[in-house]
Amino acid sequence: MTASNAASFVAARDFLLRHREDYETAYREFQWPKLDRFNWALDYFDVMARDNTRPALWLVDEDAGETKLSFAELSERSNRVANALRRIGVQRGDRVLVMLGNVVPLWEAMLAAMKLGAVIVPATTLLTRNDLADRFARGRVKHVIAGADAAAKFAELPGGYTRIVVGKAVPGWVSYEDCYRESVDFTPDAPTRADDPLLLYFTSGTTATPKLVLHTHQSYPVGHLSTVYWLGLRPGDVHLNISSPGWAKHAWSCFFSPWTAQAAIFIVNQRRFNARGLLDTIARCGVTTFCAPPTVWRMLIQENLAAWKVQLKELISAGEPLNPEVIEQVKTAWGLTIRDGYGQTETTALVGNTPGQKIKAGSMGRPLPGYRVALLDGNGLPQREGEICLMLEPRPTGLMQGYQGNGGISLADQSRYRTGDVASVDDDGYLTYVGRADDVFKSSDYRISPFELESVLIEHPAVAEAAVVPSPDPIRLAVPKAFLVLAAGHAPDRDTALSILQHCRAALAPFKRVRRLEFADLPKTISGKIRRVELRRAEAAKAPGGNRTSLEFWEDDFSEDELGARA
């Protein structure tokens, strides 16, 4: 055990808790703890969990009822699993692919693998056989922990890897339930270096295949101190985060951050998303902090939120910018303001609206303690609007070790990390998200921000979700086109389209008006982010003025009298 390192980690956390609503002091004086050897599961979690009977994990499942486990119980259960994994052959540095839903073994297995010094490869249960083959090849997977319902996906993946199944027995697989027979006492085989690898994420990016993002025992467990600060978590909180296992945000807000703050992780498992059922559970179980992606917030405001008497103290959104109209509707119902934030799989939370601070409509907040953020152009010069970049002198703890490739671990630029996202900054240091570097487009030589247009569109009562992309045009090169999901009770017809175009004409300057719209489902990632890249590609493939569907409407379809006076 490395008690001194654990003490410096706890001291850094306590500093942020003390200055929870004093952003200026927290940002100015916070320093990342200097660590040499550190294992968060052994040196922090187990010590904190000793004789700690407070709830650590609370699962509410539509099919299986409720499960509550204390910190002490999870510490002991993960020790048993770690001993079993060691007996099966899992060694320090081995890659362990964990492909589980929100079930108790997910948390036990992650703690156990961490204690062993193994490298966790998180995987969503929706991966295909080809996805898994890629992870095995490039991720060098040696062991698999998966649910029984996913075992068939591995039938065509030959090799000597260990197979451990959660749930019913599967021939050729070791039963996870047998792990509970092992000793409750665990002794590590050696100290863990803080820069040893811990997590290997496969994340989409600008390459044809997912990038391999490598995090260490320092970059995620310690780096998420910034996330704790952004979320506003405190000891005893009951924290609900809507996120799917296998993605980085799940580790952010369903693992490291709540337990670092000594809060309970609360999970609601539904067969299909049910806003009323979710709200009922939040109210009944006394959830105090709630983080959800914009897609969920947009569905929740379709309900009369004021009808639920909740104990919520903090509301957070992440994944993509949240429209101000949604924020205002929730505030009207509950008297709470949803706080936005920003980060990537490669990092922890970088920018956020933190508790007790002024919130500006549409802004994602200010740089979080421990991060130096600059907006730079392509030549590395500071701009009022530019690419979000992290300064690496000194290097922030929450940044990944690098991208794993055939040549080892790399970070292209050793002086700064470029996120690929564009933002603007105001005189008070608040950043507003503009879009991906390749999302901003030009129309008649004007720069168009999709998010700005989407924010206007969602103010219309008929619009539940919107995604704006460039549509080819013989005159302007491209014009803004909106793909729309309608709110309940609205038909995808000419009258609705006219009403929305009238709304855009009244709210937007002529050069950035939405000139085309189509009623359609929006392609999304499993974590709920809209995949605008798919819409862009499909639209770019069309000939200017051609290939229209029956649910597509253009300004040219309507007379000037119908559309109203020009803005």
Please give the full DSSP string across 228-267, using - where no structure is assigned. Answer: HHHHT--TT-EEEE---TTSHHHHIIIIIHHHHTT-EEEE
Domain end, chosen from 437, 467, 494, is at: 437
* pLDDT tens for each residue of 214-242: 999 999 999 999 999 999 999 999 999 99
| Residue 16 resides in a domain | no
Judge if 83 and 231 occupy the same domain: no
Judge if 304 and 197 occupy the same domain: no
Spatial neighbors of 231 by CB under 8 A, at least 6 apart, are 239, 253, 257, 261, 289, 291, 314, 316, 349
| Residue 193 resides in a domain | yes
| Residue 135 resides in a domain | yes
Structural domains counted in the chain: 3
Judge if 165 and 313 occupy the same domain: no
| Token representation of residue 76 | 């002991």
Question: Would you tell me the crossing angle of helices 494-507 and 450-457 to the nearest 10 degrees?
Answer: 120
**Residue 512: which CATH number?**
3.30.300.30
CA–CA distances in Å: residue 249 to residues 13, 116, 224, 547 = 20, 23, 11, 38
pLDDT above 90 (res 382) = yes
- CB contact at 8 A, 425 and 410: no
Kindly state the DSSP code that residue 395 receives in the 8-state scheme: P
| Residue 248 resides in a domain | no
Judge if 320 and 422 occupy the same domain: yes
* pLDDT tens for each residue of 297-338: 989 999 999 999 999 999 999 877 788 889 999 999 999 999
- Establish whether the linkage from the previous residue to 245 is cis, with ω within 30° of 0: no
Domain end, chosen from 410, 437, 464, is at: 437
Task: Write 165-174 long-range contacts (CB < 8 A, 24+).
Answer: 166/100, 166/103, 166/105, 174/88
Judge if 390 and 465 occupy the same domain: no
* pLDDT tens for each residue of 102-120: 999 999 999 999 999 999 9
| Token representation of residue 491 | 């038909």
Residue type, 69: L
| Residue 247 resides in a domain | no
Residue 478 CA to residue 453 CA, distance in Å, equals 15
pLDDT above 50 (res 566) = no
Domain end, chosen from 437, 468, 496, is at: 437
| Residue 101 resides in a domain | yes
Judge if 424 and 491 occupy the same domain: no
Judge if 64 and 198 occupy the same domain: yes
Phi-psi group of 447: left, alpha or beta (phi > 0 → left; psi -120 to 50 → alpha; rest → beta):
beta
Coil, strand or helix at 421: strand
Judge if 166 and 87 occupy the same domain: yes
Which residue range(s) make up the domain with 493? Answer: 441-563
Judge if 481 and 525 occupy the same domain: yes
Kindly state the DSSP code that residue 42 receives in the 8-state scheme: I
**Residue 169: which CATH number?**
3.40.50.12780
Judge if 367 and 456 occupy the same domain: no
| Residue 379 resides in a domain | yes
Closest CA to 162 of 83, 98, 252: 98
| Residue 252 resides in a domain | no
pLDDT band with cut points at 50, 70 and 90 for residue 475: confident
Judge if 483 and 412 occupy the same domain: no
Judge if 451 and 427 occupy the same domain: no
| Token representation of residue 415 | 């002086």
pLDDT above 60 (res 1) = no
pLDDT above 50 (res 99) = yes
